[in-house]
């Protein structure tokens, strides 16, 4: 799998080429702003619910609602990404998310029933996110050469995760401590800025034969026909199931009625910092050690990070565990680059959607597991249950590497 990092240009030339690529820089900036908004939102929303006196189960309920569209709309999002202008879809998705978050802010300010409004808006945010993220991943190979995909994905993933987990949560922790409603306003403004940031991107080519229907199942068929790709999808789904439990359990362990918002923000920030550092060197790590070793190292970090909070109440140890979840960026760079390298351009939207149906459809399942586990077993035991899916994912990644080794070699020779 080391061939993922192979290319016809040197490392310095590739990096310089990306910096001069205006289309890539526009995509990079818009994705960064949107994920900064996500980072603020993921801290502010649970805090808003907790300090408003909502039941503890409302946190996994609302987070699960935001992830439910991944299981329902993903395949259709892929058809949209292959059928319509991807730039316009991306802008629309960011704008809709901004409007939904503004509605939650209004509910807090005007004393509307918070939990029903939050659930409805979370469904809207999740639906727009499903379309937007599928579109963004489908756009990347059209703005950078295939020989630079690993480096481009390293830049995108480190930016996505560092803004999502470092800058956003760190800012959100302080803002939420002053006014959770103000944090929601910040999120809405960031989503609108991301929508505006997409306009310098070129319009994507729209199929000439638009009257010919694009079948929703085409992407799923292609995904299932590539053994390594389908194993990757299932393994990432298991990791996301565990991450959903972690995402629901950590705020409940840290945030109390009167404090904990800043600590929670710092925990997410520690994870984001590790993402930023690892994402910047991911291409070099893959070239030196091989994609399989790098991938499994990231999974090991997730196993430790997800479960640490279930073992101890020591805030420093829990913080170190949260930082280790930054290994997620290594998993993302390897799996996303592989998918973009082996899928034909005209199918990329639908295959990406099918892949994410499996991988991200696990999020609402994880939120359900979190809600049941927290209710019946307690927060600590729920966090410990994350070890089972993470270990199973590691086994599937190992099998996938063995199945796809000859295929990777063929890709390397083509390059």
How many residues in total does the chain contain?
A: 415
What's the whole-number mean pLDDT along residues 190-203? 89
> Per the domain annotation, does 5 fall within a domain?
no
206 lies in some domain: no
Does any domain span residue 393? yes
Number of structural domains, the chain?
1
Residue with tokens 């950590």: 250
Domain that holds residue 391: 10-200+216-414
What does the buried/exposed string (b/e) look like for 209-231 if buried means 16 or more CB atoms within 10 Å of the residue's CB? eeeeebebebbbebbeebebbbb
Query: Please, what is the average pLDDT of the chain?
Result: 81
Q: What is the rounded average pLDDT of the residues 18-33?
A: 86
Residue bearing the bigger pLDDT, 20 or 96: 96
User: What does the alpha-carbon distance between residue 268 and residue 189 come to, in Å, rounded to a whole number?
Assistant: 21
Residue 409 covered by a domain: yes
Work out the number of other CB atoms within 10 angstroms of the CB of residue 407. 17
CATH of the domain at 121: 1.20.1250.20
- Give residue-wise pLDDT tens across range 8-17: 344 444 555 7
Q: What does pTM read for this prediction?
A: 0.71
Q: Is residue 124 part of a domain?
A: yes
Residue 15 lies in a domain: yes
Cβ neighbours, 10 Å, residue 307:
19
Of 151, 135, 145, nearest in space to 198 by CA: 135
pLDDT number for residue 406: 45
């Amino acid at each position: 799998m080391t061939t993922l990092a192979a290319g016809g240009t040197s490392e310095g030339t590739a990096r310089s080429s990306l910096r001069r690529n205006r289309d890539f820089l526009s995509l990079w900036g818009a994705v960064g702003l949107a994920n900064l908004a996500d980072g603020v939102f993921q801290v502010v929303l649970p805090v808003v619910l907790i300090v408003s006196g909502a039941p503890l189960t409302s946190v996994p309920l609302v987070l699960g609602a935001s992830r439910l569209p991944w299981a329902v709309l993903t395949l259709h999002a892929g058809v949209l990404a292959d059928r319509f202008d991807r730039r316009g879809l991306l802008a629309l998705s960011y704008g809709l998310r901004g409007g939904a978050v503004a509605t939650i802010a209004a509910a807090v300010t005007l004393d509307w029933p918070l939990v029903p409004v939050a659930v409805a808006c979370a469904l809207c945010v999740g639906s727009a996110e499903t379309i937007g993220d599928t579109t963004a991943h489908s756009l990347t190979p059209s703005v950078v050469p295939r020989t630079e995909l690993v480096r481009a994905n390293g830049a995108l993933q480190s930016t996505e995760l560092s803004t999502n987990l470092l800058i956003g949560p760190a800012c959100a922790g302080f803002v939420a401590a002053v006014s959770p409603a103000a944090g929601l306003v910040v999120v809405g403004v960031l989503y609108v800025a991301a929508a505006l940031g997409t306009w310098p991107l070129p319009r994507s080519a729209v199929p000439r034969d638009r009257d010919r229907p694009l079948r929703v199942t085409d992407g799923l068929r292609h995904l299932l026909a590539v053994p390594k790709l389908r194993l990757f999808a299932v393994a990432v789904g298991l990791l996301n199931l565990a991450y959903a439990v972690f995402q629901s359990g950590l705020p409940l362990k840290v945030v109390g009625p009167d404090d904990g918002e800043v600590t929670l923000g710092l925990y997410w920030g520690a994870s984001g910092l590790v993402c930023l550092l690892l994402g910047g060197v991911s291409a070099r790590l893959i070239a030196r050690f091989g994609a399989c070793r790098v991938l499994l190292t990231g999974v090991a970090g997730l196993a430790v990070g997800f479960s640490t909070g279930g073992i101890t109440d020591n805030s420093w140890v829990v913080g170190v565990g949260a930082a280790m979840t930054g290994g997620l960026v290594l998993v993302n760079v390897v799996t996303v680059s592989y998918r973009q390298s082996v899928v034909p351009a005209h199918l990329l939207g639908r295959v990406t959607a099918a892949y994410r149906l499996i991988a991200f459809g696990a999020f609402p399942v994880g939120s359900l597991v979190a809600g049941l586990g927290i209710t019946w077993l307690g927060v600590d035991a729920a966090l410990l249950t994350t070890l089972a899916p993470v270990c199973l994912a590691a086994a599937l990644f190992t099998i996938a590497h063995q199945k796809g080794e000859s295929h990777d070699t063929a890709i390397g020779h083509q390059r």
